[in-house]
Structure 1
Amino acid sequence: MAALTERLVDRRLGFGADEPYVRERDLRVPLSDGVVLLADLYRAPGPLRPRPTVLMRTPYGRDGLGSIIGSLLARRGFQVLVQSTRGTFGSGGQFRPFLHESSDGLDTLAWVRGQTWCDGRVSMVGPSYVGHTQWAIAPYADPGLCSMNADITASEFTSTFYPGGAPGLLNLATWVNQIGRQERIGAVTGFLATPVFSRRKRRAVTSQPLQAADVALTGAPVVFWRDFVEHAEQPREFWAPAEHDGFDAAAMPPVCMVTGWWDLFLDRQLVDFTALQRGGATARITIGPWTHGDRGSLSTIAHEMVHWLGVHLHDGEHDERAPVRVYVQHADRWTDLPCWPPPEARPTEWYLDADGGLGPDRPAGTPPPSRFVYDPADPTPTVGGPMLQPPSKQLDNRGVEARDDVRVWTGPPLESDLDLLGPVSAVVYVRTGTGIGDVFVRLCDVGPDGTSMNITDAMHRLVPDREATAPDGTTVVRMTLSPTGYRVRAGHRLRVQVAGAAFPRFARNPGTGERTATAVDGERISYELLHDSEHPSHVVLPHHP
């Protein structure tokens, strides 16, 4: 059965003939604090001899994803060690996500290099959390890694956990459900969007206080969830052991990345890639029309991994492709670029006007601001976007845009196709009654039939003592929306929407200044959005010729 499954995987991913291998299970890896982690070794049959080794450290078990990647690479002639991280699937200690991966990973790396079957050369692979375990090692390894395949992941997680300062509630609830139940029901099953789980998740994310939502979600307390909500107001301080974005790019190994326009780590991954490339590291990235773990991305991830390892462990030849390869959505084409951001993209400002229009002309005069009221008892709902589970990607936003707590600005029909490729940003001048509030900005593609499909967005949580606020209470909110590769077709219109929530993708703002973990009461927030000559709210779009 295993051999049949492997042949099906190879066929699905587009691989040809394979090589035989053996799998040695439950190798014991002692750490410096006395904890023992378990690992499986995939190697060539016959006597052991020193060979380069691929290391994969995963919290999701050595079967499932671990065995798929381990056996896939072993059938391509690589020696692979797949290790269960601390506190998962037989490994000792307590699983505290992200907090132990650097020390545990460096101990593991030293152990691997001390084995008779390793020649000292080590590369690392794996997506998502597994990719983050690479970032926890690579900047500190001495001698360094030979290479990394860090897919759909990032060097730090705070900006993804708390985008713009607002806790990313729904995606974290999805992940907590998996890690809180995976050893009881299986790692893969934990990610399935079953009706029972969907109902449980809805109850959990709408419950208050949020610090107890883990019990509603999984049936038991989950330490990571408590860490997530308890430290929402000062996240960087608590998650410092998991932040590896201060790396020296010149000392990093060659890094290969795959991600998607709808992946929740896209923003940070492109920051990492840009830092690597500008700092002199060897780096390449592929960005497709995918969500996190999208089936459509699997073949690309697998082939990039095999190629990169072949170059850096087996002295293979580079394929000479460009450092950046991106898919332009709705143009249905791949584009190669020398770097990120695209050097040919022209930043173009589109201004919000008093009549609900959107265009290149800077506003004149002093028209009254646009107003709305946000109610934490009925927060503006989530529609699409970079979600771990459907409904994700693009959805019709008309229902949300018709609400009283959303304001929209729409441009004229385009005379020709408009390709957007690169960073997107926004500057919004806003006043709230108390200085508290969330600002959600979204760019949409409005078709001739009126459908309004989201392209990209961002969230910013206003914290009074951290904002630059004018004497009249106006705050200039400068936001970085997720980058995009997208064609807005001729006859379509661009639209900007602004709201005070996108719930439950982001945790609701109680409006009281209470802590995220313990808030149970709520107060409405009155918003004024300014768009006059002194307060020219606008978005900046990357026009790519």
Structure 2
Amino acid sequence: MAKISRLAGLAADLALGLPVRAVPYEIRRDVSVPMLDGVALLANHYRPVGADGPLPVVLIRVPYGRDGAFGQVFAAPLARRGFQVFMQATRGTFGSGGQFRPFTTERDDGLATVDWLRKQEWCDGRIAMIGGSYFGHTQWAVAPYADPPLTCVAPHITSANVTNRLFYEQGVPSIHTALSWSAQIGRQERPGLLAGMPDPRVKTRVRRALGRLPLQAVDVQVAEAPVPFWRDFVAHAEPGDDFWAQADHDGADLSRMPPVSMVTGWWDLFLGGNLADYTALRAAGVPARLVVGPWLHGEPGELRTIVRTDAAWLDHHLRGGPAPSGAPVRVHLQRANKWLEFEEWPPNAVREKVLNLGSGGGLAEVAEPEDRGGPSRFTYDPARPTPTVGGPLLQPPGKQADNRLVEARDDVLVFTGPLLSEDLDIVGPVSATLHVRTSIPYADVFVRLCDVDEKGVSRNVVDGIHRLDPRTLDAPGIEPGIDGVLAVHVELFPTAYRFRAGHRLRVQVSGGAFPRYARNMGTDEPFATATAGRPCHFEVFHDAARASQITLPALDG
């Protein structure tokens, strides 16, 4: 059995791209840690065989199980390198007591766990945390508040803000992500040979369920039982609801943060929040490093990079190993197949390139002096919501896709630029400002930037959405004008992307992107129970006084 275990470890290290290590370790399972309310959470404790005295602890808090694939990918490789690892199942998962209400208890539970660890004779008081996605969030719930501070953290493919940056992007519920994840966590502990493995039938159920109304109880259709997270998600989606404030940590005092290592991907749904967190950390003087690759959430390349950077990061901060080399920011320039290094994010070596939407469907650097023929018009109907293809999704397919069928619809405006005479590298945040007037006050503005090749294939690069609601017209990003025209600022995803010579840039404008985002029903009915929808007529203005434009960070040189 020991030989099989060593061979399995060797295979895992090779698959993860790690140098082979074989430090013998022992695992103490089902270690019980008491929480403040008396609930006990269970963990697996990895410790080097024969270790004398206390050691630092690498804490991993995860809702997906302490054993199986997550233990083999995140805990065991570190244990083979001589680290002491404490992998804990979060509240209500895999033997831990209480109910799993995602994002709502991780601060108290995480701080209680850190305090308990520091009191153990085998812990020397130094604690680091690692992990991605949800167990990246568990780090954000602890690191700004731990006293004394943690030694280092590595919150990958995650965000300090899980509401406006993920589940309700600029006020729009991300229903595909929320329901897909609800299906996963709602089924993950069921017995069976394939428990926890991807099931194509579940994807079909999610797709069908998203098309039904009301949305309040569609979790039962995909998970065959109510899922508390989905019920919280649909019940607390209205403006002014502060239920999720307990889950957002981007307002925390960052001066208490230890050194931070981050890995994410250009097609990762957490990208925008991840990069905003990095910028805020550096502004607060926190030592931080960032890697952004051409990955979707949880892709093998992303996972391999996470594990490799974690091993080096922990070795440096816990054992005095060599510091990471190179610039603190390393990003992959897509369609150029090369990596770039910068001292900061966003990089300083860029200039703003502004492209104006034109009345004839053009895209130009100079705005038209007046709207020839008036504003561009389209109608969004929630009964036949504008679809989306590709983009940053929780699960494949995602990334880039052919957008021509979507662009042929009558509810999508398309603005296309001239042929590029030379390569154009865009590196940094992308934004758009549209001057729009809508026939009803409830509407969404979706903007997508595409790359059109020599054959006319239009592939998405980045996009963003912003919700219009009379209850939030004073929120940032909306500026009222005369005659009911609003200037709407849309934050698109950041990117590093090369538009090749001979290609064209294209901008889509529409009223939604379903099922990635919930359709806007055009009424004030609560999101969870809405069933009736109203079409919305859009006017998009593009004269010099009311220019609609997209702003791109063009890389110098």
Listed one character per residue, the Cα deviations across residues 497-543 of structure 1 (whole Å, up to 9, x for unaligned) are 00111000000111122111110111111111111122100000010
Corresponding residue for residue 513 of structure 2: 502
Moved more, 354-363 or 101-110: 354-363
- How far 1:124 sits from its partner (Å)? 0.3
1:256 matched to 2:227? The reply is no
Listed one character per residue, the Cα deviations across residues 426-477 of structure 1 (whole Å, up to 9, x for unaligned) are 0001111012211110000000100000000001111123224334111111
- For residue 57 of structure 2, what is the amino acid of its counterpart? T
8 Å contact kept, 1:203–1:216: no
Corresponding residue for residue 438 of structure 1: 444
| Greater than 3 Å deviation, 4+ residue runs | 185-191
Corresponding residue for residue 53 of structure 2: 49
8 Å contact kept, 2:389–2:403: yes
Corresponding residue for residue 435 of structure 2: 429
CA distance in 2, matches of 1:417, 1:102: 47
Corresponding residue for residue 376 of structure 2: 370
Corresponding residue for residue 404 of structure 2: 398
Label 1:190 to 1:531 Cα distance change in 2 as closer, same or farther (>3 A). farther
8 Å contact kept, 2:367–2:542: no
State which of 472, 478, 488 in structure 1 corresponds to 2:483: 472
Corresponding residue for residue 206 of structure 1: 211
Aligned ranges 1:65-144 → 2 under 5 Å: 65-144=70-149
Unaligned runs of 5+ in 2: 474-478
- How far 1:188 sits from its partner (Å)? 8.5
Moved more, 363-372 or 69-78: 363-372
Label 1:386 to 1:189 Cα distance change in 2 as closer, same or farther (>3 A). farther
- How far 1:168 sits from its partner (Å)? 0.3
CA distance in 1, matches of 2:5, 2:190: 23
1:511 matched to 2:519? The reply is no
- How far 1:236 sits from its partner (Å)? 5.9
- How far 1:177 sits from its partner (Å)? 0.6
Q: Identity across aligned pairs (percent)?
A: 53
- For residue 15 of structure 2, what is the amino acid of its counterpart? R
- For residue 314 of structure 2, what is the amino acid of its counterpart? L
| Alignment TM-score, normalising by the size of structure 1 | 0.98
Alignment RMSD (CA, Å)? 1.4
8 Å contact kept, 1:323–1:337: yes
- For residue 7 of structure 1, what is the amino acid of its counterpart? L
1:458 matched to 2:464? The reply is yes
Label 1:77 to 1:235 Cα distance change in 2 as closer, same or farther (>3 A). farther
1:313 matched to 2:313? The reply is no
SS in 2 for 1:170: helix
Label 1:167 to 1:542 Cα distance change in 2 as closer, same or farther (>3 A). same
Label 1:168 to 1:370 Cα distance change in 2 as closer, same or farther (>3 A). same
SS in 2 for 1:490: coil
Label 1:490 to 1:186 Cα distance change in 2 as closer, same or farther (>3 A). farther
Label 1:185 to 1:536 Cα distance change in 2 as closer, same or farther (>3 A). farther
8 Å contact kept, 1:259–1:287: yes
- How far 1:4 sits from its partner (Å)? 2.7
1:449 matched to 2:455? The reply is yes
8 Å contact kept, 1:180–1:218: yes
Label 1:342 to 1:224 Cα distance change in 2 as closer, same or farther (>3 A). same
CA distance in 2, matches of 1:455, 1:89: 39
Moved more, 32-41 or 60-69: 60-69
Label 1:169 to 1:509 Cα distance change in 2 as closer, same or farther (>3 A). same
SS in 1 for 2:170: helix
Corresponding residue for residue 340 of structure 1: 345
CA distance in 1, matches of 2:222, 2:324: 46
CA distance in 2, matches of 1:41, 1:262: 34
Moved more, 400-409 or 17-26: 17-26
CA distance in 2, matches of 1:335, 1:101: 35
CA distance in 1, matches of 2:538, 2:191: 45
Aligned ranges 1:473-488 → 2 under 5 Å: 473-488=484-499
CA distance in 2, matches of 1:389, 1:308: 28
CA distance in 1, matches of 2:534, 2:183: 30
Corresponding residue for residue 18 of structure 1: 22
8 Å contact kept, 1:371–1:529: yes
SS in 1 for 2:173: coil
Corresponding residue for residue 415 of structure 1: 421
CA distance in 1, matches of 2:30, 2:170: 42
- How far 1:186 sits from its partner (Å)? 7.7
Listed one character per residue, the Cα deviations across residues 56-87 of structure 1 (whole Å, up to 9, x for unaligned) are 00000101213431111000110000000000
SS in 1 for 2:213: coil
Aligned ranges 1:175-254 → 2 under 5 Å: 175-184=181-190, 190=196, 192=198, 194-234=199-239, 237-254=242-259
- For residue 100 of structure 1, what is the amino acid of its counterpart? T
1:152 matched to 2:157? The reply is yes
Label 1:129 to 1:277 Cα distance change in 2 as closer, same or farther (>3 A). same
SS in 1 for 2:544: coil
8 Å contact kept, 1:177–1:190: no
Label 1:186 to 1:413 Cα distance change in 2 as closer, same or farther (>3 A). farther
8 Å contact kept, 1:56–1:126: yes
Corresponding residue for residue 542 of structure 1: 553
Listed one character per residue, the Cα deviations across residues 348-399 of structure 1 (whole Å, up to 9, x for unaligned) are 1000011100011122113301111111111011210000112200000000
CA distance in 2, matches of 1:187, 1:260: 32
Moved more, 208-217 or 181-190: 181-190
Corresponding residue for residue 292 of structure 1: 297
1:5 matched to 2:8? The reply is yes
8 Å contact kept, 2:6–2:22: no
Corresponding residue for residue 275 of structure 1: 280
Moved more, 241-250 or 154-163: 241-250
Listed one character per residue, the Cα deviations across residues 142-162 of structure 1 (whole Å, up to 9, x for unaligned) are 000000011101112002111
Listed one character per residue, the Cα deviations across residues 275-320 of structure 1 (whole Å, up to 9, x for unaligned) are 1111100001000000111111122111110011011111112133
1:490 matched to 2:496? The reply is no
Corresponding residue for residue 63 of structure 2: 59
- For residue 10 of structure 1, what is the amino acid of its counterpart? D
Corresponding residue for residue 476 of structure 2: none
CA distance in 1, matches of 2:49, 2:457: 58
- For residue 3 of structure 1, what is the amino acid of its counterpart? R
- For residue 13 of structure 2, what is the amino acid of its counterpart? D
- For residue 171 of structure 1, what is the amino acid of its counterpart? T
8 Å contact kept, 1:204–1:216: yes
SS in 2 for 1:472: helix
In the alignment of these two chains, the number of paired residues is 544
8 Å contact kept, 2:189–2:196: no
Listed one character per residue, the Cα deviations across residues 318-361 of structure 1 (whole Å, up to 9, x for unaligned) are 13321100000001000000000110011110000111000111
1:29 matched to 2:33? The reply is yes
8 Å contact kept, 1:61–1:84: yes
CA distance in 2, matches of 1:239, 1:434: 28
- For residue 446 of structure 2, what is the amino acid of its counterpart? F
